[in-house]
């Protein structure tokens, strides 16, 4: 076999397999909302239906005539379908959805169709059939479902390259949505889970988004205990307890003991550890355990033999259109049946009232009998036509029927049939109103059996990091260059497992690391701590080309773990880094001939906050700073001097704002020789007045500049 032929063989077989899994296994059909195995189970129950319970083992065996995938798959699907409670009535142990207990063996449990299933799913005359997989039997293509079954039951399946998840909804609300749809009114539907609990459906997006499902947690009065009364859909009491125990072992939740009293309803009692608060613990349970579960809805169904992505409202609209068509066909069949019944009763009345049968005594052959009947009936038929099958039925009337024929009762029954035909005709002419009345009667009959169990609420967002316990000790070994929970270093700090370690290095780069046992930093570190988006850093660096100094204040808020970022341009020198607040930066200039100032002081709070990658504010204008240090806010120049406006020397970068003016300019320090100072005291006093006059024209751009 050539490579091309082999490739085509694999491609054809794979496409055939993928199509089979998508259409016949995993994805429900849009017409009746059922997967093939569910449809075959319900049809088997329909064929076996005699009003009594049937052994599940017998139902499975009967269904294997249609479903070629073994008894285990049929049994599991039957138990799951029965536990939804809509279409299969059970007797025996079908498992417990709250505890996760499995059903008993099929030979011990029984089931039958519910009245609701007979009313909304099954009608042989409206069902289209095909041959079963072996050609020995006929099975339905789809059931004539009068409701959107996929929304009632929910559906979940994984096929080749696609999947579906339709969440279950409330019976009464689905029926009401159908009524609103037929009337042309707006409607909205939200999931309803058999486990109860509460949901936040703000992001449901008509079945194309997600919901958050929470357990119901009560506080026991007078005791430091919490009781879980309802659990999220898809969980069991055992799985929920396992998630709480795992969170407690990791220090995420402070629980001392768990007692499970779940039977017919959920009751899980949690005893809080010493020092734990109930409100805080509830938030931790929602954040770290299965007490809150998020479900994503993805409506995918088979429509016309092809996969179709759909929404909740679209499924309701399609089901409403289908219901109207089913009701129309049903009324037409009823009219046909009533018309056929009335026609026969008219022929029977003519045959008996006019004693047509009396002329049969002289007939010697079958042809003579048929001729006698046709001759006797002809004057009374009017527009009716006597067919051969009518003739056979008339000749089959027994003498007892003729002798006991009640003309008045017969006419009364014919009047009832005519009235029923008139009503069917009126319903057919106003099909929408008739369908709405049928749906209202259905809701009145079954609505109380299926009350809403899940409450719809708006949840407050829980800050997982904020409610996490800071139960980890992180060490930083500056000499060795290690940091982590297993490092015994010079500095230690508390952290939670959701925190990140921030390391800023001497070369002006920084990196954020996940919480771990031991990280090798690999560079000289000037800061190591827990990343906090509220922490405000002040940094000063010297750029290499002109040796100007720049200052910036920044927060580190967004990042990618273990990626190296830079605070300074390439080749720049980081001079100062601090996360202290209420400080000022005092800097000294290199000596320059003719310069009147030697130092400046800028409050850090006056520097605009920028991003970590921003250039920052230039200090000292065009002058070179030789050294810089941090001083407390109280060490700044007197307030009167800070009120002087600042004027950048060269204007700085576009859009920059001037910083607050530093302290007053200081003249070059005179000689420290006391004798010389005394000799020149008089000269200095005269020079002071000159300095004051020159102060107004002093070039303050020599002190700093903001680009």
What's the CA angle centered on 406, arms 403 and 410, to 5 degrees? 130
Tokens at 672, concatenated: 């420290």
**Is the CB of residue 646 less than 8 Å from the CB of residue 656?**
no
Tokens of 433: 């109103």
Cα–Cα distance for residue pair 14/395, rounded to 1 Å: 63
CA–CA gap between residue 493 and residue 81 (Å, rounded): 54
With beta carbons less than 8 A apart as the criterion, state whether 313 and 306 touch.
Answer: no
Contact predicate 229/200, CB 8 Å: no
Residue 78 in contact with residue 59, Cβ under 8 Å? yes
Confirm if 109 and 92 have CB atoms less than 8 A apart: yes
Please tell me which residue in 108, 133, 190, 510 is annotated as part of the active site.
Answer: 108
Distance CA 191, CA 169 (A): 4
How many whole angstroms separate alpha carbon 336 and alpha carbon 550? 94
Does residue 34 contact residue 120 with C-beta atoms inside 8 Å? no
Tokens representing 306?
């092809």
Secondary structure of the chain: what % helix, strand, coil (to 5)?
Answer: 40, 20, 40
What does the alpha-carbon distance between residue 510 and residue 546 come to, in Å, rounded to a whole number? Answer: 24
Q: Please give the C-alpha separations between residue 544 and each of 452, 509, 592, 619, 677, in angstroms, as whole numbers.
A: 71, 16, 20, 15, 41
Active site residue 190: no
Task: Locate the DSSP E strands across 387-470.
Answer: 455-456
SS3 269: strand
The full DSSP string for 624-645 is PEEEEEEEEGGGSPPHHHHTSP
What lies within 8 Å, CB to CB, of 367 at 6+ separation is: none
Q: What are phi and psi of 550, to 5 degrees?
A: -125, 145
CA distance 270 to 112: 40
DSSP H or E run through 308: strand 306-309
Q: How far apart are alpha carbons 133 and 666 in whole angstroms?
A: 101
Q: Determine the Cα–Cα distance for residues 439 and 521; give it in Å rounded to an integer.
A: 70
For residue 125, the SS3 value is helix
Contact in structure between 690 and 609 (CB atoms under 8 Å): no
The residue among 146, 121, 135, 130 whose CA lies nearest residue 41 is 121
CA distance linking residue 449 with residue 379, whole number of Å: 58
Please give the Cα distance from 620 to 652 (Å, whole number): 12
Which DSSP category does 483 fall into? Answer: E
- DSSP-assigned states of every residue in 200-253: E-TT-GGGTSEEEEE-EEEEPTTSSEEEEEE--TT--HHHHHHHHHHHHHTTSS
The crossing angle, in degrees rounded to 10, of helices 56-63 and 71-83 is 120
Residues tagged active-site: 108
């Amino acid at each position: 076999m050539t490579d091309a032929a082999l490739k085509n063989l694999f491609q054809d077989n794979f496409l055939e397999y993928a199509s089979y899994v998508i259409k016949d296994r995993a994805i429900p059909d849009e017409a009746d909302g059922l997967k093939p195995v569910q449809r075959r189970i319900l049809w088997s129950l329909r064929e076996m239906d005699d009003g009594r319970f049937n052994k599940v083992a017998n139902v499975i065996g009967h269904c294997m005539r249609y479903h070629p995938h073994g008894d285990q798959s049929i049994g599991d699907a039957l138990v799951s379908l029965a536990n939804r409670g809509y279409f299969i009535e059970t007797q025996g142990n079908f498992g417990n959805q709250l505890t996760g207990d499995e059903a008993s063996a099929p030979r011990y449990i029984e089931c039958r169709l519910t009245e609701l299933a007979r009313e909304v799913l099954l009608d042989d005359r409206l069902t289209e059939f095909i041959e079963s997989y072996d050609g020995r039997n006929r099975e339905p293509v789809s059931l004539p479902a009068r409701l959107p079954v996929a929304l009632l039951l929910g559906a979940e399946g994984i096929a080749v390259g696609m999947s579906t998840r339709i969440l279950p909804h409330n019976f009464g609300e689905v029926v009401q949505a159908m009524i609103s749809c037929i009337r042309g009114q707006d409607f909205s539907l939200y999931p309803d889970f058999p486990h109860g609990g509460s949901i936040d459906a703000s992001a449901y997006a008509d079945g194309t988004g997600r919901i958050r499902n929470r357990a119901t947690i009560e506080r026991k009065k007078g005791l430091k205990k919490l009781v879980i009364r309802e659990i999220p859909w898809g969980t069991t009491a055992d799985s929920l307890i396992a998630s709480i125990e795992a969170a407690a072992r990791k220090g995420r939740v402070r629980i001392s003991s768990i007692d499970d009293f779940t039977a017919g309803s959920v009751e899980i009692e949690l005893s809080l550890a010493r020092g734990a608060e109930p409100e805080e613990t509830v938030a931790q349970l929602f954040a770290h355990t299965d007490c809150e579960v998020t479900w994503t809805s993805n409506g995918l169904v088979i429509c016309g033999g092809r996969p179709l992505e759909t929404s909740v409202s679209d499924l309701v609209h399609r089901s409403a259109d289908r219901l109207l068509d089913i009701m129309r066909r049903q009324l037409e069949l009823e009219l046909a049946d009533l018309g056929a019944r009335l026609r026969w009763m008219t022929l029977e009345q003519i045959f008996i009232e006019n004693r047509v049968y009396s002329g049969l005594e002289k007939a010697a052959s079958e042809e003579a009998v048929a001729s006698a009947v046709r001759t006797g009936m002809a004057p009374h038929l009017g527009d009716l036509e006597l067919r051969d099958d009518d003739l056979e039925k008339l000749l089959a009337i027994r003498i007892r029927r003729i002798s006991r024929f009640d003309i008045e009762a017969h006419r009364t029954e014919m009047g009832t049939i005519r009235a029923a035909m008139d009503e069917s005709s009126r319903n057919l002419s106003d099909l929408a109103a008739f369908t709405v009345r049928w749906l209202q009667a259905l809701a009145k009959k079954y609505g109380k059996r299926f009350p809403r169990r899940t409450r719809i609420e708006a949840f407050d967002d829980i800050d997982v990091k904020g409610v996490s316990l800071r139960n980890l000790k992180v060490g930083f070994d500056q000499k060795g260059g290690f940091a982590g929970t297993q490092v015994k270093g010079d500095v230690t700090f508390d952290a939670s497992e959701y925190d990140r370690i921030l390391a800023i290095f001497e070369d002006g780069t920084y990196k954020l690391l996940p919480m771990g046992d031991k990280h090798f930093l690999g560079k000289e570190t000037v800061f190591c701590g827990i990343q906090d988006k509220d922490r405000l850093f002040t940094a000063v660096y010297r750029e290499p080309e002109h040796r100007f100094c720049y200052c910036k204040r920044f927060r580190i808020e967004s990042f990618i773990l273990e990626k190296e970022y830079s605070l300074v341009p390439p080749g720049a020198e980081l001079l100062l880094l601090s996360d202290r607040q209420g400080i000022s930066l005092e800097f000294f200039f290199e000596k320059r001939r003719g310069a009147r100032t030697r130092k400046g002081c800028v409050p850090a709070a006056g520097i605009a906050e920028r991003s970590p990658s921003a250039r920052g504010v230039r200090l000292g204008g065009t002058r070179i700073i030789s050294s810089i240090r941090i001083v407390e806010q109280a060490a700044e120049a007197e307030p009167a001097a800070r009120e002087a406006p600042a004027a950048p020397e060269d204007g700085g970068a576009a859009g920059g704002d001037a910083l607050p003016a530093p302290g007053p300019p200081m003249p070059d320090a005179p000689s420290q020789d006391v004798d010389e100072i005394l000799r020149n005291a008089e000269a200095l006093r005269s020079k002071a007045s000159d300095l004051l006059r020159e102060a107004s024209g002093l070039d303050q751009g020599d002190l700093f500049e903001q680009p």
